Amino acid sequence: MISTSRRKLRTIQLKTETDRDCTRGRVSGPCRRYFGGTDRCGCLPVQSSCIMDMKKKKGKGTGLLKGMAIICVVLAFILAVLLIVGRSGRTGRKAASASTSSASVSSAAAMTSAGREAAASNNQESGQIEGEDDAAPADSAALRLTDADIHKGDLILVNPWNAYDFDANADSVDLVNILDNQSVTYPCDKSDFEIARHVLPHLDEMIAACNAAVGTNETSISSAYRSMDYQQNVWNETVANYGEAYARNYVAVPGYSEHHTGLAVDLGRTASDGTAESFTGSANADWINTNSWRYGFIRRYAEDKASITGCSNESWHYRYVGVPHAYFMYANNLCLEEYIEWLRENTSESAPYTITCDLGTWEVYFTQSRNPACPDEEYNVSGNNVDGYVITVKKN
């Protein structure tokens, strides 16, 4: 009885102490150790009998709970790590994919932008119309022309408004010394005069025919190909002797001279004793003015075309353009500027113009396409040095 009474008394004391601690805001040991929740004072209200039971089972219960808690914590940690890693991987892959996609789009956009800017620059410089086809055609029978080709060929327009493109022609113009390669004998004012190789045979034939027709051997060459430096010296000398106003009428500004092309010559007359004679008004000048087209040459600067060509009358300056073009210009009284414009306005790949004379028949058309159809017959392509190409097809 005493033992039982003491046990009850002890239980009452514990409860009383616990309640007292709670009222003071302190958390008793059993609450703090086994319970997570708290009431307003910071601990869970518990029954004293529970405290006694827990004290009895402290040895076994504490170890079991600790073990289970550790296992739960470990499992929770592992699960959390797996979730984090999984999310990181997916996020990384998405980010990488997005980055790659963004980089590809940015790169493509940059390339497209750069390509458009380059195309716009080329169009502005060469006159090419924006939107013209510029990719290599699938049809292997199509021509593949370039922007540089606009500035090459027998029909390039070189005048005060259109400079000669030295870079585009650096590898295409084959110059030969006239005296060393002429097939007939005629004098040149200088021994180092040069002309384009493919033009020389036509020049030889024209001079030989002229001399035969007028009965003399006086037709000569007073000027031919000129480099930039040579033209600069001619310009400086003319300005010094006659003034700039005179020079602009009779001498091309360096870089804008037809003599740069290797397609032009100044004709003259040289007596048998070497004396220079006047070419203007001579029988030689008259014959060549009438017949030069048969050899592919045109009188480049006529008096009635000065306002169009930008150059005063020069009866001695002849330029090679090829037989069909020379014939058409002569027959229709057109200068090269007018002919280039006529081709642009009146011909196309689908509607070529047929030129016929006693030397043959040709079809001619202007195009801005870099991939026109490749003709089945003999043909020639020339740029106009402005905005496109002239295709000439020799008909059988």
pLDDT (tens digit per residue) in 137-159: 555 689 999 999 999 999 999 99
- What pLDDT score was predicted for residue 366? 98
Do residues 204 and 184 make contact, with C-beta atoms less than 8 angstroms apart? yes
Is 117 known to be catalytic? Answer: no
d(CA 385, CA 256): 12
| Domains of the chain, residue spans | 2-56, 156-320
SS3 118: helix
pLDDT bin (cut points 50, 70, 90) of residue 349 is very high
pLDDT digits (tens, 9 = 90+) for 8-60: 434 444 344 444 443 334 444 433 333 334 343 343 444 444 334 444 444 44
Q: Which of 154, 384, 389 is nearest to 263 (CA)?
A: 154
d(CA 157, CA 153): 10
* Least confident residue range of 40-44, 71-75, 332-336: 40-44
* Least confident residue range of 44-48, 155-159, 230-234, 328-332: 44-48
* CATH number of this structure's domain 156-320, picked from the four choices 3.30.1380.10, 3.30.1310.10, 3.10.20.30, 3.40.50.2300: 3.30.1380.10
Mean pLDDT of all residues in the chain?
Answer: 79
* Least confident residue range of 131-145, 228-242, 273-287: 131-145
pLDDT bin (cut points 50, 70, 90) of residue 128 is very low
Among residues 314, 338, 377, 378, the one annotated as catalytic is: 314
Q: pTM score, two decimals?
A: 0.67
- What pLDDT score was predicted for residue 52? 41
- What pLDDT score was predicted for residue 253? 95
d(CA 203, CA 151): 23
d(CA 212, CA 191): 24
